[in-house]
Amino acid sequence: MVRTILQKCTACGAYGLAEICKECGSQAQAAGPMRFSPEDKRAHLRRKMKNVESKEWAESLPSPDDGGEEE
């Protein structure tokens, strides 16, 4: 599986997908874990993986109907 990691330029801070900054030509490095990125481009894939639109998934969630003292 090919992973595309967001790169951040070490010189100007521009983001890109290449290891060489397209803005200034400097070295760019991985911008860090994307797990909490607000721009989660893989969110739809993970949702699909977890089958979140299925009834089973919905029922696996904590529900206020359960008596609901869970945090």
Q: Which residues bind Zn ion (CB under 5 A)?
A: 9, 11-12, 14, 21, 23-24, 26
**Separation between Cα atoms, residue 2 and residue 17, nearest integer Å:** 13
CB of 11 to Zn ion, least distance (A): 5
Task: With beta carbons less than 8 A apart as the criterion, state whether 11 and 21 touch.
Answer: yes
Sign, CA torsion 46/50/54/57: negative
Shorter beta-carbon distance to Zn ion: residue 14 or 52: 14
Closest distance between Zn ion and the C-beta of residue 25, in Å?
Answer: 7
Nearest approach in angstroms of CB 9 to Zn ion is 3
